[in-house]
Amino acid sequence: MEPLVTTVLVIDTATPAVTAGVARRDASGVEVLAEHVTLDARAHAEQLTPNVLGAMADAGVAMSQLTAVVVGCGPGPFTGLRVGMATAAAYGHALGVPVYGVCSLDAIGIDTDGDVLVVTDARRREVYWARYVDGARTTGPDVCAPGDVPAGAAAVAGSPDHVGLFDLPRLTPTHPSTSGLVRAVDWSAAPGPLVPLYLRRPDAKTTAERGVRS
């Protein structure tokens, strides 16, 4: 039986937004107590811990009061994504609290209504994408060139640098929010292993993978 009130540390590094927040969840919904977001695709490792500590301080919540951790599992670039997931796992282990992983695109899509395409930067002139109807994912996540994303959505949300590639009305959500990440969790189920949604192999390869002999 899940607790009546859950105090949650929330982390996401799947996009250029380095997000850390603290939220309280109960039967009436989700209340965001504090959120720190830094928009810098190259500063996940440098900014995540300061953002966590800042959000905790602003929320007036001690680490010992946390009862769960929620982390976005992508899809996202290898380096940034593993920073957030490793940090979330470390907090969960140190505090002895469960860690829930969610699809980061779901945290954007859940804040939309209607038939919506959500896109984020996958680099290599590609996008990560998923499709939602009234906040529930119907297709994806996947990665491909913008021109290969299946048509039919009524609007688009997500990365400001990529929504313009689609001839669709733009919606407000641009990155996973603290509220969206908490609401995307299936709180009725026990948390499973944290599985990163890379959707493709990382750019970095081992010597063996490159076929180079020592």
Residue-wise DSSP of 98-126: -EEEE-HHHHHHTT--SEEEEEEEEETTE
21 lies in the same domain as 124: no
Mean pLDDT of 78-96: 96
Domain assignment present for residue 197? The answer is no
77 lies in the same domain as 19: yes
pLDDT of 3: 58
**Segments forming the whole domain that contains residue 30:** 6-104+175-183
136 lies in the same domain as 179: no
Q: What is the CATH number of the domain that holds 127?
A: 3.30.420
Pair 26, 4: CB distance under 8 Å: yes
Domain assignment present for residue 134? The answer is yes
* Size (the chain), residues: 214
Domain assignment present for residue 206? The answer is no
Q: What is the CATH number of the domain that holds 95?
A: 3.30.420.40
The helices-and-strands tally (H runs, E runs) of the chain is: 5, 9
Q: Give tens-digit pLDDT for 29-70.
A: 999 999 999 999 889 999 999 999 999 999 999 999 999 999
Domain assignment present for residue 192? The answer is no
4 confidence band (pLDDT: 50, 70, 90): low
Q: Give tens-digit pLDDT for 110-136.
A: 999 999 999 999 999 999 999 999 999
pLDDT of 41: 87
201 confidence band (pLDDT: 50, 70, 90): low
Give the total number of structural domains in the chain. 2
**N-terminal to C-terminal alpha carbon distance within the chain:** 55
Mean pLDDT of 193-202: 86
87 lies in the same domain as 179: yes
Domain assignment present for residue 202? The answer is no
